[in-house]
């Protein structure tokens, strides 16, 4: 099973593809979709959607795990991240992929066993879990890989709970 983790953002949308082969997790790739600050928001959203469609085609995931939008102190930032998230959800839905949504605390709990883990701790645990030789960068890509790990762990848990083998 392959899961694509996504950490939505307007300037930087992190992505990470992780495969579960019999309980062994393997990183297939990661990175971020960057958009330039000077572009109109609509143009930035088109770039995010187009690049995400390429990533979906390249990795052919079975499902997508995406971060739930949390309420930020900066309403303007929350609004544009929400717009980016909407475009991402649309692209995933158009690809007919199942979507799992997780809160940041759930993801941190899944990879670092601590819901308030810091960025550095999450990066180190992602590298350890996936056997990476170096810390995944940028932060958004590391967060997306963590999202994918959380998604795979959740699917494995649900399958075991329902008595199914994956």
DSSP state letter for 73: S
Q: Which of 12, 20, 51, 140 is catalytic?
A: 140
Q: What number of residues does the chain have?
A: 166
Q: In what order do the strands lie in the sheet with 63-67?
A: 24-34, 12-21, 2-7, 63-67, 99-102
Q: Which of 51, 67, 139, 143 is catalytic?
A: 67
Cα separation, 51 vs 55, whole angstroms: 6
- Could you please report the per-residue DSSP string of 37-54? TTS-HHHHHHHHHHHHHH
Cα separation, 65 vs 112, whole angstroms: 17
Q: Which of 7, 12, 20, 143 is catalytic?
A: 7
Residue 67 catalytic?
A: yes
Nearest one of 13, 11, 26, 57 to 149, comparing CA atoms: 26
Residue 62 catalytic?
A: no
Q: Is the peptide bond before 104 cis (omega within 30 degrees of 0)?
A: no
Residue 20 catalytic?
A: no
Provide the annotated active-site residues: 7, 67, 140
């Amino acid at each position: 099973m392959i899961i694509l983790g996504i950490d939505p953002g307007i300037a930087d949308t992190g992505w990470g593809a992780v495969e579960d082969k019999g309980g062994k997790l393997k990183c297939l790739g990661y990175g971020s979709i960057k958009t330039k600050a000077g572009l109109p928001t609509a143009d930035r959203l088109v770039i995010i959607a187009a690049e995400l469609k390429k990533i979906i085609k390249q990795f052919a995931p079975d499902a997508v795990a995406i971060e739930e939008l949390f309420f930020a102190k900066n309403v303007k930032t929350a609004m544009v991240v929400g717009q980016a998230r909407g475009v991402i959800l649309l692209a995933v839905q158009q690809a007919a992929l199942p979507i799992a949504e997780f809160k940041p605390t759930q993801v941190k709990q899944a990879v670092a066993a601590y819901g308030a883990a810091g960025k550095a701790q999450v990066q180190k645990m992602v590298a350890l879990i996936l056997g990476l030789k170096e810390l995944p960068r940028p932060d958004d890509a590391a967060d997306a890989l963590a999202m994918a790990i959380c998604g795979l762990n959740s699917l494995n848990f649900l399958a075991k709970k329902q008595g199914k083998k994956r």
